[in-house]
Chains A and B, each alone.
Chain A
Amino acid sequence: QSALTQPRSVSGSPGQSVTISCTGTSSDVGAYNYVSWYQQHPGKAPKLMIYDVSKRPSGVPDRFSGSKSGNTASLTISGLQAEDEADYSCCSYAGTYTFEVVFGGGTKLTVL
């Protein structure tokens, strides 16, 4: 069982927007602005899409955006494209007395 809770699947049509949630606790998501999101296509390594809640690495389209409210972080993908179909996982810092990082269980995004 993963430390962060994500929906198993979401779907949307091309051009639409979808939002994926990531629920943690006051000890991880709610405590720090160190939430990141990863995209993973089958057989590939994860790719960093968002870090520090809402920052995009260079090269990531601005269709991808991140936010956080309380213990829940969200990834929003606008203007859905076929190539966005992938698994998305959230990640948060969770250290109190030691350095610790936790992941969500992943969400399968289907572009209809």
Chain B
Amino acid sequence: QVQLQQSGPGLVKPSQTLSLTCAISGDSVSSSTAAWIWIRQSPSRGLEWLGRTYYRSKWYNDYAVSVKSRITINPDTSKNQLSLQLDSVTPEDTAAYYCAKEYCSGGSCARTGFDPWGQGTLVIVSS
């Protein structure tokens, strides 16, 4: 059973970098079938897909256009976890941040099906 455990600060100052980690148990961040996702949710913007990382003989990343210039998602194979960094944050980046895995069944994975999810981390951007 795959479980995702998030950690990171809940308060970040404007213009600084938001950093979160997602520890994976029951699977490998280097999975050759699934991708690992970051999603955020705020009352004003709803759910918002931020990006993903995945391994297919080498590492790949895809990022949402809205945050592409500010986001980095990195795998850490030594700790079996993934991280999220979002630079130059503003109060608009205040949200609950979730990591998730693509849902896989029968050897294939769903492009927009995400399961399981981490427990979520509420990040407030404020001075």
Interface residues of A (CB under 8 A from B): 2, 32, 34-36, 38, 45-48, 51-52, 55, 57-58, 89, 91-93, 98-106
Contact = CB atoms under 8 A, between A and B. Distances in A.
B36 to A, nearest CB: 13
Interface string B97-127: 0100001010000111111011110000000
B50 to A, nearest CB: 9
Contact of A34 (B49, B62, B112, B120): B112
Contact of A51 (B48, B52, B103, B119): B103
A45 B98 contact: yes
A17 to B, nearest CB: 23
A69 to B, nearest CB: 18
Contacts of A91: 47, 49, 112
B110 A52 contact: yes
Contact of B47 (A55, A98, A103): A103
Contacts of B98: 45-46
Given A57-B103, A57-B105, A91-B112, A101 B117 contact: no
A36 B110 contact: yes
B112 A45 contact: no
Interface of B: 45-49, 52, 62, 64-65, 98, 103, 105, 110-115, 117-120
A32 B112 CA distance: 11
Contact of A100 (B64, B114, B117): B64
A95 to B, nearest CB: 8
8 nearest A-B residue pairs (beta carbon): A51-B113, A99-B62, A101-B49, A45-B117, A103-B47, A48-B115, A51-B110, A34-B111
